Amino acid sequence: MTDNPRSSSYILLGVLSLMWGTSFILIKQGLKVFTPDEVGSLRVASASLFLLPLAMVHVRTLNPAAYWKLFISGMMGIFIPAFLYATAQTRMDSSVAGIINTLTPLFTMMVGAIVFKQRFRGYVIIGIILGFAGTILLSLSRSGSSVTGFNNFTLLIVLACLLYGSNLNFIKFSIPELSAPAITSVSLMLIGPFAFVYLLGFTGFTEKMETHPGAWKAFGFITLLGFMSTAVATILFNKLVKIATPMFASSVTYLMPIVVVMWGVLDGELLNTGHFIGMAAILGGVYLANRWR
C-alpha cells in the first residue's frame, strides 16, 4: 500500500472488486448444500471467529458509547445483507443481481445528501449514471442481451444496497475516530453470537454436516467466503471509506460485474463488443464519480 491516499484508494478498490466479485461463486457453491439462512449465518459466524483475536485487542481501547454504534454498523453492513444476498441468489440470475447491486452508489448519495447533508457535484451524478449504464450493458452482454429471472426477490438486494449505502455514511460521519480494523472486528464480535446461536440452534446445519456427502466441501466454500469476503474485505472496505469518500467506496459495486465476467471467461465464455463497451463505461463512471478534493 502506498502513502498516497488516492493511489491507495484505487488499489483497495481493485482488491475489493476481486474479493466481492468472487463471493457470488462461493455463495452459489454453498447453496448446493445449505439453505440461504445457513449460508448467511455460517458466513457471519466464521468471519467473527477469524477476527475474534483482533477484536479482543481493540475492545479494551473503546469508549463504551461506541459499542451500540458498532453493533448497528455490523447489522447494516454485514449481518442482514449476508442473509439477503444468500436468499436472493436462490431465485435470481447473477447478471440481474449484478445490475441491482449497482444501486449502492445511488443509495450512498441519497443517504449522504438527506441525512448527512452532503453536497455532490454534477460530474458525480454523471459518473453514477454512466457506471450504472455500463453495468446494465455488461450484464446484458453476458446474458445474451436479455435479462431473465427478475422477480420480487430482487427487492432483497435493493434493501441490501440501501443498508450498504446507509452504513457507508454511518461509518464515515458517525464513527470517524475508529480505525477500520477496530470497526470490523468489534462489529463482528458483537453480531457473531447471534449468527452462532441461529446456525446451531435453529437450522439443520449440524445434521447436514454429519450426513450430507458434499457438506464439508460446501462448508469450505462458505468459510472461505466468511474469511475473504467478509472478514478481510470488510476491513479493507472500512479503511477505504476512511481514506476516501463513501461514494468512492460504493463504486466497488460497479467493478464487481467485471470480475464476474472474467470468471465467465475462465469458464469458457467469450467476450463481445458489448462487454468491452460496458467495462469502459464502468471505469469511466467510477473515475467521474470519485474525483474528490
Q: In the chain, what are the domain boundaries?
A: 5-289
Contact, 282 vs 257, CB < 8 A?
A: yes
Average pLDDT of the chain is: 83
With cut-offs at 50, 70 and 90, classify the pLDDT of residue 150: very low
Give the tens place of pLDDT for each residue, 166-212: 999 999 889 988 999 999 999 999 999 999 999 999 999 999 999 99
Asked whether residue 270 carries a pLDDT value surpassing 90, the answer given is no
Provide the whole-model pTM.
Answer: 0.83
With cut-offs at 50, 70 and 90, classify the pLDDT of residue 149: very low
Angstrom distance (rounded) from CA 239 to CA 284: 23
Look-up: residue for cell 446507509? 166
All 3 cell numbers of residue 4? Answer: 498516497
Higher per-residue confidence, 264 vs 116:
116
Report which of 70, 68, 74 is spatially closest to residue 44, judged by C-alpha positions.
Answer: 74
Q: What mean pLDDT is predicted for residues 256-266?
A: 73
Q: What mean pLDDT is predicted for residues 89-108?
A: 73
Which burial class, exposed, middle or buried, applies to 110 when counting CB atoms under 10 A from its CB (0-12, 13-18, 19+)?
Answer: middle
How many beta carbons lie within 10 A of that of residue 174, not counting itself? 16
